[in-house]
Structure 1
Amino acid sequence: MARKRESESKTRKVKKPEYRSFRLHKKIKNPSKPIIGSFKLMRESLKHLLKNKKLYLGIASVYFLVSLVLVSGLIGGTDYSTVKESLSEVFNGTTGQLSIGISLFSMLIGGGNSITESGSVYQTTLIIMISLVSIWALRHSYAKTKITVRDAFYKSMTPFVPFVLVLIVMGLQLIPLLIGTTLYSIAIGQGLAVTVVEKVVWVLLVLGLFVLTLYMLTSSIFALYIVTLPELTPMKALRSARELVRYRRWTIMRKVIFLPISLLLLAATIMIPVLLFLTFMAQWIFAFLSAIGIIVIHSYMYKLYRELI
């Protein structure tokens, strides 16, 4: 009888499968629910912003006004009207107008406005602040809590230091990509890669390092949203983020890549006609759209974060 009880206490259990990055193993079935598609994700995130448009337009307006004073110097820099006239002498017809619009848009997103060193510091600080405000507002608006623009700015700055520490970790994760692009520039500039095969090898190296960087950032980016919760340290947030994306990292990577591509196309659709027909207002409109864009980015990513929970 004693032996029977002893055998029951030593019942063998099947070990649960474990997943470890960059190691070969049998495919583990994803235990989580499927994630909605990228287009639906974007549509629902925009729908939420429109539903609370008064709040988010207020947040964007505050950022826009402060940015004009501290960063852009009330809009200066490149004279796009003059550039447009110069390009009109080269390009003609409907196709030419489109070429002019694309050229001006490339200049605009490429940093046509000169920003001083102090302006860059202000801009970075403002982006961090507007990110914290947006995340706080999204969390409370999804919870259907009645909040104001003032509440969002006053009550969202508590996790500023943990948020910055997570950003520093993400900056360190960009090192492989920076190394790859630097080596590629040296190889091309110094003539180390001459033949097509050599250039392809270097491109593949940079692409591999880009995928590695994106792979690491795919989890860390969600730590930005987790660390804003009460009593969470950056390390706990990073560990929670890794657990959040487990088994689904490659699927999430595709949705993260979709975001900048869709925003670039949306910005081009709006700004190219503005640059062609309202050139004198282009910089003002683009500055305000940039403020809206930051909120849209966080709305999309926060919606994705909620889908993963």
Structure 2
Amino acid sequence: MKKSKTKSVVSEPASDEKNLVSKQAQRQAERQQKKLQKQEQKQKRQLAREKKQLIKKQDEVRLHRSFKRSYHEDYQRKTELPSLTSQASAAFKMFFKFWKIFLPLLLIFVGLYIFLIGAMSENTLADVKANVEQTNKDVADGKIGTVGKAGLTLLGIISTGGLTTMNDAQVVIAVLLFAIIWLVTIYLARHLLAGHQEIKMRDGFYSALSPLVSTLVVGLIIFLEAVPIMLTIIVFQVALTTEFLSTPFYALLFFMFAALMITLSLYLLSSSFFAIIVVSAPGLYPLTAVRMAKNLIMGRRLRFLIRVFYLVIIVALLYLLLLMPAIILDGILKAQFAWLADSKIPFVAIIQLTITVFIFIYLSIYFYLFYRALLDYNDDAKLEL
């Protein structure tokens, strides 16, 4: 009996030692597993960072670098874009397809412009018509017809946009209203093209104005980038007053300077203009939007400028086809009915302001569709009437 007790006493510490050794081994194994897991997590994080960096490098388009040769196949960016006419007609299609949304938007902003700034007065229109009549007598010996007079009147009032002469506060209000039109129209266009047919016009006012401050910051950047053009205009006016351009050599120097300044501004403005569209997405900072727009427009500036010049023609045709008949009709009616002339109701100014706001909405839709075309979206099927 004594021997068995001694054996059990000896075996107990041995088993305890084995348990301790096994526990230590388990702890070491667990520690090693944790270390391996941490290393795997670090490796995964590093891989994720590398992937993000690769994506950023792929997204960033750096076609030309200093002291490095640029090859044609490297900076040629093939993009399938719609033609000029189809792009312009697509914007018209979208406005008239969703007219129940865009037409109230147009009327609201026409009312806001009239209420906050004021329409062009009838006295301004009468002064322009009087100047046209005087020019007709002095220059053309009264040979200019009704259509010609209406065209000259249109040229005289087109710079007003249908608004009265604005002070500094009214200029700020006009810019803010234009920014709101831009943001609301792009917000509505984005959701309509995404298939959200249930969206309403009021949703644009409630949800589209969050990037207003960012949009104004991008607008400030655009203003700074337009400084070379403004400087060229100032220098040109000074050169005219001082007869600096009368010398051929100095005239050549000025036109070289002007071409350089205008090219620089157009190069900078072409990318920053798209930043106004990019920054309309929620959560984007202004400088991030400018960088993304620069990558998007790189290698495509010429196509963008061609569309801008084409838009100038479209805007001129809209004023010509819509405002000239209004000027002619206004003159005929006021000549036939004296009470209309005495009422001083600014029919032409209201029509011109309506056309101007429509052009603002149309330009917003047009440039947003062009932006989506650069991103390889196919919106033709969505705009079928």
The alpha carbon displacement at 1:256 in A equals 2.1
Quick one: which of 269, 288, 298 aligns to 2:354? 288
CA displacement, residues 207-245 of structure 1 (integer Å, 9 cap, x when unaligned): 332222111111111111111112211111111101111
Letter in 2 for 1:96: G
Q: Residue by residue, what CA displacement relative to the aligned partner does 1:16-65 show, whole Å, maximum 9, x if unpaired?
A: 99512898733235343222222211111111111111111111111100
**Identity of counterpart residues, as a percentage?**
21
Deviation at 1:180, TM superposition (A): 1.3
Describe how 1:116-265 pairs up with structure 2 within 5 A.
116-145=167-196, 146-196=198-248, 198-265=250-317
**Correspondence for 2:82 among 4, 27, 36:** 36
Larger displacement relative to structure 2 (184-193 or 166-175): 184-193
**Equivalence for 1:99:** 148
Q: TM-score, normalised on structure 1?
A: 0.86
Deviations 1:162-219 (A, max 9, x none): 1111111111100111111111111121122213554354234323322221111111
Change in 2 beyond 3 A, CA 1:276/1:157: same
2:276 and 2:123 map into 1 onto residues whose CA distance is 34
The answer as to whether partners of 2:187 and 2:204 remain within 8 angstroms in 1 is: yes
The yes-or-no answer on 1:87 pairing with 2:132 is yes
Q: 1:110 aligns with which of 148, 153, 159?
A: 159
Where structure 1 has 5 or more consecutive residues not aligned to the other structure, the ranges are: 1-15
CA distance in 1, matches of 2:133, 2:358: 31
Q: Could you tell me which residue of structure 2 aligns to residue 4 of structure 1?
A: none
CA distance in 2, matches of 1:21, 1:166: 26
1:81 Cα shift?
4.2
Distance change (3 Å), C-alpha of 1:21 and 1:284: farther
- Is the CA contact (8 Å cut-off) linking 2:244 and 2:251 kept in structure 1? no
Tell me which moved more, 78-87 or 298-307: 78-87
Q: Which runs of 5+ in 2 are unaligned?
A: 1-57, 332-345, 376-385
Secondary structure of 1:32's match?
A: coil
Q: Give the structure with higher Rg (CA).
A: 2
Amino acid at match of 1:71: I
Letter in 1 for 2:318: L
2:323 aligned partner: 271
Instruction: State the TM-score, normalizing by the size of structure 2.
Output: 0.70
Does structure 2 conserve the Cα–Cα contact (< 8 Å) formed by 1:131 and 1:295?
A: yes
Distance 1:83 1:100 in 2: 10
CA contact (8 A) 1:184 1:203 kept: no
Cα distance between partner residues in 2 of 1:122 and 1:105:
25
1:76 aligns with 2:121: yes
Given that residues 183 and 209 in structure 2 are in contact (C-alpha distance below 8 angstroms), is that contact kept between their aligned partners in structure 1?
Answer: yes
Q: CA–CA distance in 1 between the matches of 2:238 and 2:330? A: 42
SS of structure 1 residue aligned to 2:190: helix
Work out whether residues 120 and 165 of structure 2, in 8 Å CA contact, stay in contact via their aligned partners in 1: no
